[in-house]
Amino acid sequence: MTASSDDGNAPQDPARRDFLGTVTAAVATAGAVAACWPFISSMNPSTDVLAEANTEVDLSGIAAGQMQTVAWQGKPIFILHRTPDEITAMAASNGGKDPQPDGQRVKNPQWLVVIALCTHMGCIPNKNSEGWLCPCHGSVYDNSGRILSGPAPRNLDIPPYTFATADKIVIGKS
Amino acid sequence: MSNRVIAWIDQRFPLSSFIKHELTEYPTPRNLSYWWNFGFLAGFVLVLQVVSGLFLAMHYKPDTALAFDSVQHIMRNVNYGWLLRYMHSTGASAFFVVIYLHMARTLYYGSYRAPRELMWWSGQIILLTIMATAFMGYLLPWGQMSYWGAQVITALFGATPFVGDQIVIWLRGGFAVGDPTLTRFFALHYLLPFVIFAMVFIHLIALHSVKSSNPSGINLRAKDNIPFHPYFTIKDFFGLGIFLIVFCAFLFFKPDFFIGTENNIPANPLHTPTHIEPEWYFLPFYAILRAVPDALGGAVAMALSILIYGALPYLDRSKIPGGARYRPIYRLLFYIFVLDIMVLAYVGGQPPVGPVVSINRIATFIYFGVFLVLPFASIWEERWLRARGLPPAVQEILANEASQHGARQ
Ligand code: FES
């Protein structure tokens, strides 16, 4: 098309011009939004943080009835060596607010492995003989890490883990 | 000589006319009480925080291995480091004191009503930004309360449906609060004051366009306005003197009054303090968070408890000019509300056992109840006041407004 067809100033086809304007604006907006991504993504965990994703724990030093707290991905993990009494008591109950059989929460009923952060607001619950009591707002968990009462909505979360040998687990790999 | 300099500048920049327009001839209602001092005081504290913060940043190290010790280094080794640090920490509390009083004045005198909605909303944004800045600043000393406060508050975002966990990890830059979190909080703590300054600027431009409200609630005649300078500069500076006496009393005699003792223990991700409580200025909102037994519901209620102020210009439906002074029902609601906030602040600092839980819930109910009742109460109150008979001057103002409104349609 040549520009010489009329007085030279008035657009020949205003709709076409509007369309081009809209498309330009849309592409520019999409580009600007896409350019935000590197900045947003830079705030996600860096590769070295991700590299520390697995923790190995030797279980041989934990006697029955004892609990050990280890760190995994900067989070505390409770490893509880349960006594036969506790195992039978837990197998018999189904928890409270968030019912779940004990069998689904352990790989080996002797060993309970849970993330030690209260599912309410992330405080670390304190161990007592019945299970755990969260000091922050009073959530009560049993020896399977199941919520019995208090404001916490869920049972204590189970991290992914595997038994590498009979008394060694790797947390972070399932 | 100086006249020639000023003339030279005035040809190139509107200096004299600016000073005239915004200060020496800026019309200010002559009946402003000392309740109108707090905006100026908030500006003063903002400058104080920026200056003390800048000099602290020259010695502070945002690294989990060094942060706690660098604060001790500031306190013990840096010349006047103790003064800078206590100025900054006391200043944070002072900031909230003056801002809350500034807001209480706005509520009492109904200064948020038309045409000052944009002042109210820009003020809301300033408040939210200050809250974010204070929250991030509290992590920097890397003590136990710093760490667990940040852990709990970032965990709140986990209540977001579907992407909650990813958002929490993104905010922290790791699976728990750690080094990346500390570094980014420092960066943002340094950035946000610029945002606050920009918002304060907008707040002031809006102010100089709608002018100050005043205790009578009606626009004064031109002859009842007096220039801001020197009359109100003097009044503001006198108020500043009183403020500084109180501020320095805390700064020099009770410097750790606002710092939790628990924060003198370095952060330990594997041990929660027995009782986590936020700084005093967050307590009412924290109490509202705890009042709802559901995580998402609690977070929403807390957000709403702050954002709901923005709706006030629409919730208050009364056309009677003047605030609580001339509106008995509104005044009653105001005092119930203030009392209720104090109850919330108290229970927010108590461990949630026994009667605290129910008091917390009732107070939360009243908090939102006041906002819900306001539209009906204000309409009813206006009807009652009109039936009782308004002073002729006020009737005239209302009639004028009504006819203007009619003319516009
Ligand atoms: S964080 Fe455990 S009960 Fe609230």
Atom of ligand 1 nearest to the CA of A139: 3
Q: What is the average per-residue pLDDT within B113-127? A: 95
- pLDDT over threshold 80, residue A46: yes
DSSP one-letter string for B85-101: HHHHHHHHHHHHHHHHH
A7: confidence class by pLDDT, cuts 50, 70, 90 = low
What pLDDT score was predicted for residue A8?
62
The pLDDT score that the predictor gives to residue B175 is 85
Q: Do A74 and B170 touch (CB under 8 A)?
A: no
Share the mean pLDDT of chain B.
93
The CATH classification number of B29-258 equals: 1.20.810.10
Residue A1 scores a pLDDT above 50? no
SS3 B217: coil
Q: What angle do CA B270, B273, B277 make, to 5 degrees?
A: 130
Q: Answer whether residue B26 shows pLDDT above 80.
A: yes
Q: What is the pLDDT of residue B407?
A: 59
Please check the confidence at residue B11 and state whether its pLDDT lies above 60: yes
Name the CATH superfamily, with its identifier, for domain A49-171.
Answer: Rieske [2Fe-2S] iron-sulphur domain (2.102.10.10)
Choosing from A97, A127, A134, A156 the residue with most ligand 1 atoms within 8 A of its CB, the one to mutate for a pocket test is A134
Long-range contacts of A108-112 (CB under 8 A, 24+ apart): A108/A163, A109/A82, A110/A64, A110/A81, A110/A82, A111/A59, A111/A79, A111/A80, A111/A81, A111/A82, A111/A169, A112/A78, A112/A79, A112/A80, A112/A82, A112/A143, A112/A144, A112/A145
Please tell me the predicted confidence (pLDDT) of residue B1.
Answer: 66
Residue A123 CA: nearest ligand 1 atom is 1
Question: Out of B235, B277, B318, B381, which one is annotated catalytic?
Answer: B235
Query: Are the Cβ atoms of A46 and B271 closer than 8 angstroms?
Result: no
In this structure, are residues A50 and A163 in contact, taking their beta carbons and an 8 Å threshold? no
- The confidence band for B54, taking pLDDT boundaries of 50, 70 and 90, is very high
3-state helix, strand, coil in chain A (%, to 5): 25, 25, 50
Q: Look at residue B191 and give its three-state secondary structure.
A: helix
In this predicted structure, the answer to whether residue B344 has a pLDDT above a threshold of 70 is yes
Ligand 1 centroid distance, CA of A136 (Å): 5
Pick the residue from chain A with its C-alpha nearest to B181: A43
Protein residue with least CA distance to atom 3, ligand 1:
A137
**Is residue A111 within 8 Å of A169, Cβ to Cβ?**
yes
- B326 neighbors B390 (Cβ within 8 angstroms): no
Instruction: Identify the residue among A73, A79, A121, A137 best suited for mutation to test binding to B, counting B beta carbons within 10 A and taking the highest.
Output: A121
Q: Is B306 helix (H, G, I), strand (E, B) or coil?
A: helix
Amino acid at B239: G
pLDDT per residue as tens digits for the range B143-202: 999 999 998 899 889 888 899 889 999 999 988 899 999 999 999 999 999 999 999 999
Nearest to A137 among B171, B273, B352 (CB): B352
Specify the DSSP class assigned to residue A124: P
Query: How do the domains of chain B map onto residue ranges?
Result: 29-258, 277-409
pLDDT for the residue B197: 96
Interface ipTM above 0.85: no
| B344 close to B288: Cβ distance less than 8 angstroms | yes
Q: What are A47-106's pLDDT values in tens digits?
A: 888 877 788 899 998 999 999 999 888 789 999 999 999 999 999 988 888 999 999 999
List the structure tokens of A167. Answer: 């008394």
Distances (CA, A) of A85 to A109, A129, A130: 11, 12, 12
Output the pLDDT for position B212.
94
